[in-house]
């Protein structure tokens, strides 16, 4: 890990933690951002550490500019811990923050309905459908389109709306079939990856 990446550690242990906080203590204007970036980086592999770093961020931040990313890191950590109700609560905090500061946008508007749909959290269907009703944003990657249409398809199926489920399932399959993002120098960015395999199997069954 280079000195320039000291706040992007993908692994974590006592030595790395000591080095991180030593560097952090010497930081001035970027301290809040460094905490949030490190929290986000560890949300999948070390979610417990992410929660601790995010809590420290909220206790010590100098302003609220990075709140949306801190909420996102916290939500992702709870999701990866299997604490889905806590995750949903923090994802909603992200959405609320986005409404207050429209320039601070994330993909939660499609990721949250997708989480709700794939886990069959029917008590949250109304909220998910409300988000989905707003449509896709102007800049949407193939994976965003896939999650959007897959969420609609899965929820429609659960509600017995088979024709709607089929239409959305076919749109999701089309998005999953995109092999180039359209960005000249980043052709693989935003494509549907292997982490969506189990959902694809369900979607294929709905696309009659």
- Look at the alpha carbons of 6, 37, 10, 142 in this order and tell me if their dihedral is positive or negative: negative
Over residues 56-84, the pLDDT tens digits come to 999 999 999 999 999 999 999 999 999 99
3-state secondary structure of 170: helix
Examine the domain organization and report whether 204 and 130 are in the same domain: yes
Asked if 104 and 97 touch (Cβ cutoff 8 Å), the reply is yes
Over residues 7-23, the pLDDT tens digits come to 999 999 999 999 999 99
Whole-number pLDDT of residue 2:
54
Over residues 128-155, the pLDDT tens digits come to 999 999 999 988 899 999 999 999 999 9
The count of structural domains within the chain is 2
Q: List the alpha helices (DSSP H) in the chain.
A: 14-26, 31-41, 47-60, 67-80, 84-100, 108-118, 125-132, 142-158, 162-176, 197-206
pTM summary value: 0.93
Examine the domain organization and report whether 82 and 127 are in the same domain: no
Asked if 202 and 158 touch (Cβ cutoff 8 Å), the reply is no
Name which residue leads in pLDDT, 101 or 184.
Answer: 101
3-state secondary structure of 138: coil
Examine the domain organization and report whether 58 and 120 are in the same domain: no
**Structural domain range at position 5:** 1-106
Whole-number pLDDT of residue 60:
96
């Amino acid at each position: 890990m280079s000195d320039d990446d000291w706040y992007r550690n993908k692994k974590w242990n006592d030595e790395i933690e000591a080095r991180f906080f030593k560097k952090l203590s010497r930081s001035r204007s970027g301290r809040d951002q460094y905490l949030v970036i490190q929290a986000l980086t560890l949300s999948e592999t070390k979610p417990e550490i992410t929660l601790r770093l995010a809590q420290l961020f909220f206790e010590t931040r100098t302003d609220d500019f990075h709140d949306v990313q801190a909420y996102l890191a916290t939500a992702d950590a709870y999701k990866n811990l299997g604490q889905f109700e806590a995750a949903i609560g923090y994802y909603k905090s992200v959405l609320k923050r986005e409404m207050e500061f429209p320039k601070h946008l994330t993909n939660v508007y499609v990721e949250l309905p997708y989480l709700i749909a794939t886990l069959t959290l029917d008590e949250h269907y109304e909220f998910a459908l409300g988000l989905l009703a707003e449509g896709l944003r102007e800049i949407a990657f193939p994976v965003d389109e896939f999650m959007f249409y897959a969420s609609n398809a899965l929820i429609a199926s659960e509600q017995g709306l088979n024709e709607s489920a089929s239409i959305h399932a076919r749109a999701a399959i089309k998005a999953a079939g995109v092999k180039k993002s359209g960005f000249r120098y980043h052709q693989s960015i935003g494509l549907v990856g292997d982490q969506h395999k189990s959902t694809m199997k369900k979607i294929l069954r709905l696309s009659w």
